[in-house]
Amino acid sequence: MRFVIALLTASVAALGASAQRVLSVSFGKHNSKPPSLRRRSPTYSQELNNNLTGGGYYADVFVGTPPQPVSLVLDTGSSDVWVLDNNANICRSAKLQAYFGYCISTYNPSKSSTYSLVGDSFSIQYVDGSGATGDYIKDTFTVGGANITNLQMGLAENTNINSGLLGVGFPANVASDEKYPNIMALFEEQDLIATQAYSLYLDDLYAETGTILFGGLDTEKFIGELKVVPILPDAETKNYTSFSVALSSLTMTADNGTVTNFTQAVIPAILDSGTTLSYLPTSMANQILAAFGAVDDTSSDGTGLVYVNCDYLSDNGNLTFDFQFGGSDGPLIRVPIDELILDNVKGYVEIGLVVPDLPFNNVCSFGIQGSSGLYLLGDTFLRSAYVVYDLSNRQIALAPANLNSTRSNIVEITKESGIPDVTGVVSQVSAEQTATGLPGTDAGGSFTATATAATTPTTAGSAEGSGNSGIKSVAVPSWETTAVAALAGVFSLVGAGVFML
Ligand SMILES: *[C@@H]1O[C@H](CO)[C@@H](O)[C@H](O)[C@H]1NC(C)=O
Ligand SMILES: *[C@@H]1O[C@H](CO)[C@@H](O)[C@H](O)[C@H]1NC(C)=O
Ligand SMILES: *[C@@H]1O[C@H](CO)[C@@H](O)[C@H](O)[C@H]1NC(C)=O
Ligand SMILES: *[C@@H]1O[C@H](CO)[C@@H](O)[C@H](O)[C@H]1NC(C)=O
Ligand SMILES: *[C@@H]1O[C@H](CO)[C@@H](O)[C@H](O)[C@H]1NC(C)=O
Ligand SMILES: *[C@@H]1O[C@H](CO)[C@@H](O)[C@H](O)[C@H]1NC(C)=O
Ligand SMILES: *[C@@H]1O[C@H](CO)[C@@H](O)[C@H](O)[C@H]1NC(C)=O
Domain of 103: which CATH number? 2.40.70.10
Residue 381 domain-assigned? Answer: yes
Shortest-distance atom of ligand 1 to CA 13:
7
**Adjacent-strand bridge partners of 151:** 139
- Return d(Cα 185, Cα 190) in angstroms, integer: 9
385 neighbors 399 (Cβ within 8 angstroms): yes
Structural domain range at position 168: 4-201+477-500
Same domain, 103 and 62: yes
Residue 480 pLDDT: 31
Distance 327 CA to ligand 6 centre (A): 9
- Could you report the per-residue pLDDT of 345-362, keeping only the tens digit for each? 887 777 776 678 889 989
462 neighbors 478 (Cβ within 8 angstroms): yes
- Could you report the per-residue pLDDT of 57-73, keeping only the tens digit for each? 899 999 999 999 999 99
Same domain, 105 and 238: no
Q: In what order do the strands lie in the sheet with 295-297?
A: 295-297, 305-309, 363-366, 341-342
239 lines ligand 4 (CB under 6 A): yes
Same domain, 11 and 100: yes
Structural domains in the chain (count): 2
Residue 167 domain-assigned? Answer: yes
Which of 390, 418, 443 terminates a domain? The answer is 390
Distance 317 CA to ligand 7 centre (A): 7
Q: What confidence tier does 424 reach under pLDDT thresholds 50, 70, 90?
A: confident
Same domain, 241 and 377: yes
Residue 84 domain-assigned? Answer: yes
Q: What confidence tier does 284 reach under pLDDT thresholds 50, 70, 90?
A: very high
- Nearest Cα to Cα of residue 222 among 209, 211, 206, 208: 211
Which residue minimizes the CA distance to atom 3 of ligand 2?
147
Same domain, 181 and 255: no
Mutate to test the pocket of ligand 2, among 147, 149, 193 (most ligand atoms within 8 A of CB): 147
Distance 203 CA to ligand 6 centre (A): 27
Distance 72 CA to ligand 4 centre (A): 29
- Nearest Cα to Cα of residue 51 among 10, 15, 19, 88: 19
151 neighbors 81 (Cβ within 8 angstroms): yes
Residue 270 domain-assigned? Answer: yes
Same domain, 255 and 303: yes
- Return d(Cα 154, Cα 175) in angstroms, integer: 10
**Checking DSSP bridges between strand 395-400 and strand 227-230, what pairing results, if any?**
antiparallel
Phi, psi (deg, nearest 5) at residue 171: -55, -35
Residue 267 pLDDT: 93
Which of 331, 361, 390 terminates a domain? The answer is 390
Q: What is the pTM of this model?
A: 0.79
Query: Is the pLDDT confidence value at 149 over 90?
Result: yes
Q: Under 8 Å CB-to-CB from 215, ≥6 apart: which residues? A: 41, 42, 43, 44, 187, 192, 193, 194, 195, 197, 198, 412, 413
291 lines ligand 5 (CB under 6 A): no
Same domain, 31 and 160: yes
Same domain, 149 and 15: yes
Verify cis geometry, omega within 30 degrees of 0, for the bond prior to 477.
Answer: no
Mean pLDDT of 116-127: 90
Which of 370, 390, 410 terminates a domain? The answer is 390
Which residue minimizes the CA distance to atom 3 of ligand 5?
254
Mean pLDDT of 10-19: 25
